[in-house]
Chains A and B, each alone.
Chain A
Amino acid sequence: MFDMSTDPPRKTMSQLRRGTVGYCVMALLGRRERYAVELVRELAAHQALAAGQGTIYPLLSRLRSDGMVATEWKESPSGPPRRYYSLTDKGRASLERFRGEWKQFSDAVDTFMED
């Protein structure tokens, strides 16, 4: 339960973000696998998506336990081993479904948001 009246845009955006940032992660991984630091940097570069790089780790954990992404430790050319993330078949299927629906959804919202 949350009170929409306190700060509607902020609350709404936080809900929207919660539902969509996972798919942004999956879309990034759909192109190629990435290691953790690389992944959270690319996402957090968009301030509209995340408050900071660290806030993306809990999301990565959820995607992993939901079977959407898989992880693997690999040696790094320099420094400590890196945890690599890749998209699973289940994640790819879920991403493709979302892609189609998101297009329709955002087009529809845009129609109403235009001044």
Chain B
Amino acid sequence: MTETDHPLVQRYLRRLRRAAADLPAGTRNELLDNVQAHLAETTAEADEAGVRTALDELGTPEEVAAAARAETEPRSSGDRLYDIATVFILFAGGFAVPVLGWIAGVVMLWNGPRWTRGEKILGTAALPVAIIIPAAAFLSSLLVPSSSAPTVLGPVLLIGLAVVAIGLVAVFVHLLRAAARVRT
């Protein structure tokens, strides 16, 4: 997008980045993306005067950042409780009530407004994948003649389990953090 390379546009975006420095990273990045896309379109094929008009119509970077700040509200404690309960039930519910507990967690996850579609898919897939992969590995190990790889299989399974466990914890933490970020 060479259009946004205009020095005035560059300067505007730098000022906006500075003015929005105190906003949560997600909010700031989305704002910058939106404004950048806007300028790419409004200043394309514009002469100097056209670029100035486009920037004037946008409002000052400080006004734009202030509008974003006004939309940034701290999460209510009720929202936070819902998010934590969801992630907890998603991962531990199945141990309390097999299958149904997990399904409850998945339903809560998909009803949660603070997760993106990708995060919901990730959260839904995490536990089944964590169960299927080791199960498949174990079953395939039964098929391999025990004499051919007796020394390798033990450590491999162990490492595999460790990777799956770390992956699960990572998804767990990611979902909690994703819900906590302030998205506007």
The answer to whether A66 and B113 have CB atoms under 8 Å apart is yes
Are the C-beta atoms of B59 and A61 separated by less than 8 Å? no
Check A54 against B37 for contact (C-beta < 8 Å): no
Contact between A40 and B41, CB atoms less than 8 A apart: no
CB distance A52 to B60 under 8 Å?
yes
Residues in B neighbouring A36, C-beta threshold 8 A: 34, 37-38
Kindly state whether residue A44 has any CB partner on chain B within 8 Å: yes
Given contacts A54-B59, A54-B63, A66-B113, contact A79 B40 (CB under 8 A): yes
- Give the Cβ gap from B72 to chain A, nearest Cβ, in Å: 8
Q: Report the Cα distance A53→B59, complex, angstroms.
A: 6
Q: A37-B38, A79-B40 known; A61 and B31 CB under 8 Å?
A: yes
A28 to chain B, nearest CB (A): 17
Q: Considering only CB atoms and an 8 Å cut-off, how many residues of chain B contact the other chain?
A: 28
Q: How far does the alpha carbon of A53 sit from the alpha carbon of B34 in the complex, in Å? A: 11
Residues of B close to A57: CB separation below 8 A: 31, 34-35, 38, 64, 67-68
Bound CA–CA A51/B61 (angstroms): 11
B1 proximal to A (CB < 8 A): yes
Contact B37 A62 (CB under 8 A): no
**Shortest distance in angstroms between A8's beta carbon and chain B's nearest beta carbon?**
18
Given the complex, which residues of A lie within 8 Å of B38, measured CB to CB?
A: 36-37, 40, 53-54, 57
| Partner of A60 from B34, B57, B113 at Cβ < 8 Å | B34
CA distance A41 to B57 in the complex (A): 9
State which residues 24-57 of A face B: CB under 8 Å.
Answer: 36-37, 40-41, 44, 50-57
Q: Chain A 66-99 against B: per-residue CB contact (8 Å), 1 yes, 0 no?
A: 1100000000100110110000000000000000
Listed in ascending order, the chain A residues whose CB lies under 8 Å from chain B are: 18, 36-37, 40-41, 44, 50-62, 65-67, 76, 79-80, 82-83
- Which are the 4 A-B pairs with shortest beta-carbon distances? A52-B59, A55-B67, A54-B64, A58-B68
A-B contacts, 20 listed (Cβ < 8 Å): A18-B70, A41-B57, A44-B57, A51-B67, A52-B58, A53-B58, A54-B59, A54-B64, A55-B59, A55-B63, A58-B31, A58-B67, A59-B71, A61-B31, A62-B184, A65-B113, A65-B114, A67-B113, A79-B41, A79-B44
